Amino acid sequence: MNENVTMLEEAERKILWLACWMIHNANHLRESRDRLKVGGHQSSSASAATLLTALYMHALRPEDRVAVKPHAAPVYHAIQYLLGRQSRQNLESFRGFGGAQSYPSRTKDAPDVDFSTGSVGLGVGMTLFASLVQDYVRLHQLGDGRAPGRMVAVLGDAELDEGNVFEAMLEGWKQDVRNLWWIIDYNRHSLDGVVNDELFQRIRQFFENVGWEVVSLKYGGRLLAAFDGPAGEALKQWIDDCPNQLYSALTFKGGAAWRSELARDLNGTAGLAELLDRHEDAALHELMTNLGGHDMASLVEAFDSVSDDRPRCFIAYTIKGHRLPLAGHKDNHAGLMTPAQMNVFRAAHSIPEGAEWDVHTGLTCDRSVFVDFLASVPFASERPAATTRRVPVEPLEAPTGEMLSTQDAFGKVMTALSRREDELARRVMTTSPDVTVSTNLGGWVNRLGVFNRNPAADTFREQAVASPLKWEKSEIGQHLELGIAENNLFLLLAAAGLSHSLFGARLLPVGTLYDPFISRGLDALNYACYQDARFMLVATPSGISLAPEGGAHQSIASPLNGIAQDGLASFEPAFADEMTAIMSWAFDYMQRDGSGQSRTNWLRDIEGGSVYLRLSTRPIRQPKRAMTDELRQSIIDGGYWLHQPSRDTMLVIAYTGAVAPEAAAAHAQIVDEIPGTGLLAITSADRLNAGWHAAEAARQDGVAPARAHVERLLAAVPARARIVTVTDGHPLTLSWLGSVLGHRVRALGVEHFGQSGDIPDLYRHYRIDAAAIMDACAAACLDQLRPVTAVA
């Protein structure tokens, strides 16, 4: 064991050197073509170097999955480099184009990043949900039988200010989460300064309250030995009482400052003078900063002593900037060593000029010993692979009925799916933050049950209380019910949507929530998409068509979020057959990985992604029509002509979603006066828009015949014709249509907070009813008779 600790310390020195050099190189040596500061985090890296070394070079097993705090990215990259999984070239271009990323990124870095980090708190929560997903996969026997891994987060102490971390912990407690380690880099510094002294006592209690085992790693071996000496007790008390601010300031000032402070405060303590005399300034500084999180032997022992799967929190006391001249300074978060300081650091690490990236220089042991050590690291062996196997998607059947809302249709499709005992039905996992019933997943849950590691019968059923809803919890339930926390929903979707990659078992997660509350978790949604997780987000109800519920529940901006969110194909169907076609396609799209062929529609359809359906509770009359391949494809590409415009028409009405009846009614009245008026049904403003931009870029790249679906649709509209667009959401969702081929547009939609009412009242008030559409059409036609002039 001692030998191993020595080698780990050797590795740590090398890792710290490489991390600091990587940042130094990016800032001081790499040619800079602009005045932007490259940055990097030498202090945060130094604080986590021991922790990460102990973890990656000793404790981790290949099946474990880790979220590394964003600002320790250089340490992470250096470790991967030593393990032969990162290239020198990438390190040399750290934070540069195509180089190792500023914050560990699953999609942009080499393959071994398990969880991206960057937005603090999210990576931490993600590990908890990943652990639940791992259990789900194992208990449903969907995986390849691999041993369960530990889900590990190495987090900054200030990450615990993020509420999402606590939301996740509460959910973890409810779900009896296991195999979860959070290692807190407790350096008592955030970005702006030093964190509150008392806070951590509360935080510690919180962990214990929700069933975690908390392990404190406060003192290193040298300090513990000093505590055994004559002045030991007083010294320990002094450190325990020392405010964070003072401890940090003394750390920055060094040995002489410790000496005078201790001599003053502990004046007269037996044995103190001897202790101080025994230590030169440098040695005293070493002693006073010998904290648990920088003591390799303590860390190794703490990690090795875990033998069960209880969730564990390690509070590892560290120093931000440890062993660097920046150590302890409150402003050190973005601090950089100067070239002169770097030279001193270089000398301390015995790194000759020109050998900075060499793995084997500056070692205190033989090269071959170090090589053997690296080869023996357990984590260095091959990691369990992702699965690329796709679940076949037999088309879903569209529900029938005169009057249906898209939300009705969604519930019916899911209930029908729950009856199918095929692979698709087995791989779908649903989840919802306490809105399962009101988003119409009740039928699905009735048949397939709620997932929980601890089975529980439905008491209401046992007590013969009549209810259409069965709520039975078991290890094989297919719905994971969350408390009301949208951040948790998105983190669970992120984890489940990466199950094929993390756990070798494909899941097709479907999450439902109310459309306006997407905003509550937007950063977590972005985080899920950034990692290329694959899920279906079904947001229902939406818009002011949720009339009596009032403004607090009515969404306006969500279609724009849907357009802007990368990795998420957004749809707003109006009819049940559209919704079903989109869902069938989506289950396949969620599984695509860039392999295989697809027709060129200028969308990322070969690569695949996640899908967002914005649905409504408004029942609308369904068209009587057969679904043809052509119609299906147009629905998926984003739109189709319900009424094709004539070659000489003056007018087109384009709508999306629940306002279909108003658009159709206005069209029916206008078409007599303006023959040939077109009616364009838009199922995905997002995909129409994305295709247009991509085709435009392709043409600029010389692919002259590139045409997007929206360009083909609008090619049927005469140049002088006007387009009136209408949506139950922000009008910008569709107003861009005019830029595609230069048609002038009048865009109707909702721009101000909603309120209670019925649909006719609200649609009239917000000017998206048939009358408002006709007014806009009339104005557009009048406008057409006038020449286009600039308005003064």
Ligand X SMILES: Cc1ncc(C[n+]2csc(CCOP(=O)(O)OP(=O)(O)O)c2C)c(N)n1
CA-wise closest residue to 593 among 329, 352, 390? 390
Interaction residues for ligand X, span 324-363 (CB under 6 A): 333
DSSP 237-264: HHHHHS-HHHHHHHHHH-HHHHHHHHHH
Report the residue from 53, 86, 102, 190 that binds ligand X according to the rule CB under 6 A. 190
Smallest distance from the beta carbon of 159 to Mg ion, in angstroms?
Answer: 8
Residue 71's binding partner out of Mg ion, ligand X, none, with CB under 5 to 8 Å set by partner kind = ligand X
Is residue 332 near Mg ion by the rule CB under 5 A?
no
Neighbours of 190 (CB within 10 A): 18
- Taking CB under 6 A as the criterion, the residue among 53, 86, 175, 187 binding ligand X is 187
The residue written with tokens 């910008």 in the block is 732
Pick the binder of ligand X from 109, 185, 481, 572 (CB under 6 A): 185
Q: Total residues at the site for ligand X (CB under 6 A)?
A: 18
Least gap, CB of 376 to Mg ion (angstroms): 32
Q: Which amino acid is at 46?
A: A
The reply to whether 335 sits near Mg ion by the rule CB under 5 A is no
The interface mask with ligand X, positions 265-304, x = CB under 6 A, is: ----------------------------------------
Nearer to ligand X, 93 or 119 (CB): 119
CB of 123 to ligand X, least distance (A): 10
Which residue is nearest to ligand X, using beta carbons? 156
Pattern 129-158, Mg ion, x by CB under 5 A: ---------------------------xxx
Straight-line distance from the first to the last Cα atom of the chain, in angstroms, rounded to the nearest whole number: 82
The answer to the question of residue 159 lying near ligand X (CB under 6 A) is: yes
Residue 322 binds which entry of ligand X, Mg ion, none, CB below 5-8 Å type-dependent? none
Determine the 3-state secondary structure of 217 from DSSP.
Answer: strand
Q: Which is nearer to ligand X, 156 or 449 (CB)?
A: 156
Q: How far is the CB of 319 from ligand X (least distance, A)?
A: 10
By CB under 6 A, residue 191 contacts ligand X: yes
Residue 721 touches which of Mg ion, ligand X, none (Cβ within 5-8 Å per kind): none
DSSP string, 555-566: -SSHHHHHHH-T
Could you tell me the smallest distance in angstroms from the CB atom of residue 120 to ligand X? 4
Q: Hey, which bits of 250-381 come out as E strands?
A: 312-317
| Spatial separation of the C-alpha atoms in residues 167 and 55, rounded to whole Å | 26
**By C-beta, is 319 or 529 nearer to Mg ion?**
319
The 3 state secondary structure assigned to 386-416 is: CCCCCCCCCCCCCCCCCEECHHHHHHHHHHH
Least distance from C-beta 86 to ligand X, angstroms? 21
Burial of 782 (0-12, 13-18, 19+ CB in 10 A): exposed
Among 44, 86, 102, 175, which residue interacts with ligand X (rule: CB under 6 A)?
44
Query: How many Å apart are CA 456 and CA 502, to the nearest integer?
Result: 29
728 binds, among Mg ion, ligand X, none (CB under 5 to 8 A by kind): none
Contact call for residue 53 and ligand X (CB under 6 A): no
Contacts of 608 (CB under 8 A, 6+ apart): 534, 589, 590, 591, 592, 593, 594
The one among 13, 24, 69, 746 contacting ligand X by CB under 6 A? 69
Q: Which of 205, 206, 149 is nearest to 181 (CA)?
A: 149
- Return the range that interacts with ligand X (CB under 6 A); candidates 155-163, 259-267, 434-442, 681-689: 155-163
User: Looking up tokens 């296991």, which residue turns up?
Assistant: 178
Peptide bond into 541 cis (omega under 30): yes
Count the residues of the shown chain that bind Mg ion, applying the rule CB under 5 A.
Answer: 5
Least Cα distance to 469 among 447, 495, 500 occurs for 447
Q: Enter the tokens of residue 115.
A: 């969880």
Helix (H, G, I), strand (E, B) or coil at 148: coil
Stretch 109-128 residues interacting with ligand X (CB under 6 A): 119-120
Give dist(CA 296, CA 590) in Å, integer: 43
Helix (H, G, I), strand (E, B) or coil at 182: strand
Closer by beta carbon to ligand X, 190 or else 570: 190
Strands 610-614 and 536-539, bridge-based pairing = parallel
* Identity of the residue, 45 or 684, whose beta carbon is nearer to ligand X in the bound complex: 45
Residue whose CB is less far from ligand X, 165 or 480: 165
Contact track, Mg ion, 173-202, x by CB under 5 A: --------------x-x-------------
Shortest separation between residue 322's beta carbon and Mg ion, angstroms: 12
Taking CB under 6 A as the binding criterion, the range among 140-148, 154-162, 219-227, 373-381 that sits at the site for ligand X is 154-162
**Cα dihedral 707/709/711/716 (nearest 10):** 120
Contact residues for Mg ion (CB under 5 A)? 156-158, 187, 189
Contact residues for ligand X (CB under 6 A)? 44, 47, 69-71, 119-120, 156-159, 185, 187, 189-191, 320, 333
